[in-house]
Amino acid sequence: MIPTETSSAPSRQKEGHAARWFAFAGVGGPILFVLVFTLAGFLRPGYSPLSQAVSDLGVGPNAWLQNANFVVFGLLLITFAIGFYQGMRSVISRGWLVACLVLLILSGVGIINGGIFTEDPTTVIVHWIGGFLLAFLSPLIVFFIAGWQWYRDPTWRIASWYSLITGVMTIALIASLFVFLAPSSPLPIGGLLQRLLVVEFFAWYVVMGWRLFLRAGSSQKKTVLK
């Protein structure tokens, strides 16, 4: 028994180390994404972040910068999905956790879709329908699943409320986008509202990624001490 436990300890430690950095992708990914599309906006002559969508940067001068940003960001979100699954196995019931994993992976796929199928007239429908439905609606469901599951655990109660409130705010911001990004919009602030949505929405990944990163680090220390 002793040799078996000893040999399994390094394996558990490696798994915990990987899970920790997978979770950290949820922290770095959104921050990098916002920084890059902000830079791309500065480099685009005549571009207005107040009225224009982030996806507008995917066509025209320096379009490669934003399209690469979408792809890298999507890959990081998929990485986070794996870290979330590994870190939540003792908190969220298995069936719901698998559903969260699939939905979070679909979100990453949707973001990648935005970098491959741009706002070019030949692909704009795939860009908006595929990208929007997968990138935003999939994790929106996760916000409510996680919030409901976390509420049962006192140590995750604050995270539960945060996740549920994020879900409600996301619905409100998405609804406002349908009004202010339309050509007949009464105010040209669709770009601003989209950026508020992006920051509010992906802040969930940053908060949860950081918490899982710290939690995995704490578990690693306990494993080493044992």
pLDDT band at residue 224 using 50, 70 and 90 as cut-offs: very low
What per-residue confidence (pLDDT) applies to 1?
46
Task: Answer for the pair 225, 22: CB distance below 8 angstroms, yes or no.
Answer: no
What per-residue confidence (pLDDT) applies to 8?
55
Q: Which of 128, 122, 135, 114 is nearest to 197 (CA)?
A: 135
What per-residue confidence (pLDDT) applies to 91?
95
Mean pLDDT of the chain: 89
| pLDDT tens per residue, range 108-133 | 999 999 999 999 999 999 998 888 88
| pLDDT tens per residue, range 177-204 | 888 766 666 778 888 999 999 999 999 9
